[in-house]
Amino acid sequence: MRILLAAAFAFATTAAHAAPKPVIAFTWDDLPAHSALPPGVTRVQIAADLLKASADAKAPAFGFINGVQTEREPASTPVLKMWRDAGQPLGNHTWSHPNLAALTPDQFTAEIARNEPMLKELMGDRDWRWLRYPFLSEGDTPEKKLAVRQWLAATHYKIASVTMSFDDWAFNEPYARCAAKGDQAAIAELEKRYLDGAAAVADRSRAMAKTLYGKDIPYVLLMHAGALDARLAPRLFQLYRDKGFGFTTLEKAQKHPFYKTDVDPSLPPAPTTLDNALKAKGLPAPPKPVDLDALNAMCR
């Protein structure tokens, strides 16, 4: 009996060691300027803090740019060179962050193309042909979605998917308001909600992947280059490490079959979020845990 128990323990231990660690690819939208700034905080400082936290965590940081911000906030422009100097890649988030639902396909692809000279200059011979749709919107009609995907395929773009998001963007404006008021209790509450939301959404994404595949897939995490994101980045990376995650690149993550229609937009469209993949199978998606209305009401 003792021998059998020892053998079972050895097998379980070996299996545990053999199980691959779940991995996350961090992607950072809205460079070089996202959301409101708290008093005394600059875009350059936000970028410096995000890049340091990423380097300390050994987490690749794929950034997606809106070139218009270099005109709206010229002081934010150094952020893009900082990102590249740190060895981190940049991709296309369109020039001015429009919603495809409000544009024609030609207007939208012109927005993508307008960003390209800046990306070519910044990235050199590195691959910058990744698109992150603003608002994650592929338009309001199947025809519009297909037309843009055909253009992306013809111009050799890949689509940056999202399989994990805790709506971090929604925390940055309340944080700026609370910081301006000096409301430390509210900031502490925001920080708790932010980290609790990240933890809950990580569990939610893993549950959806396991329903679909019986195991983890590599996750692509949507983040934004905002002030609270920069403040909490070291704690966020630690949270994911404590939950057993490692970090990977966007390109490596999207080699998984789940992402094939985003890596090759010429393929017939298929669900590209875990929520929609479940719905396509007639399965319910778990509720989203972040209370956006509560965030919106803070420090008004």
Q: What is the pLDDT of residue 269?
A: 84
Closest CA to 22 of 285, 256, 258, 206: 206
Q: What is the pLDDT of residue 7?
A: 43
* Whole-structure pTM value: 0.93
* Residue 108 burial class via C-beta count within 10 angstroms: exposed 0-12, middle 13-18, buried 19 and up: buried
Q: What are the C-alpha distances in Å from 289 to residues 54, 166, 203, 225, 294?
A: 25, 8, 10, 22, 12
**What one-letter code names the amino acid at 89?**
P
**What one-letter code names the amino acid at 62?**
F
Fold of domain 20-297: TIM Barrel (3.20.20)
pLDDT tens sequence across 94-126 = 999 999 999 999 999 999 999 999 999 999 999
Residues with Cβ within 8 Å of residue 187, at least 6 apart in sequence: 175, 178, 179
Tally Cβ neighbours within 10 Å of residue 184. 10
Indicate the helix (H) or strand (E) that contains 72. Answer: helix 69-72
Q: What is the dihedral of CA 30, 33, 37, 42, to 10 degrees?
A: 140
Across the 300 residues of the chain, what is the mean pLDDT of every consecutive 10-residue run? 45 52 98 98 98 98 98 98 98 98 98 98 97 97 97 98 98 98 98 98 98 97 98 98 98 98 95 96 95 96
Q: What is the pLDDT of residue 18?
A: 55
Residue 220 sits at φ, ψ, to 5 deg, of -110, 115
Q: Determine what percent of the chain falls in helix, strand and coil, rounding each to the nearest 5.
A: 55, 10, 35
Residues with Cβ within 8 Å of residue 13, at least 6 apart in sequence: none
- Distance between CA 125 and CA 92 in Å, rounded? 15
Q: What is the pLDDT of residue 24?
A: 98
Q: What are the C-alpha distances in Å from 206 to residues 25, 60, 291?
A: 14, 21, 20
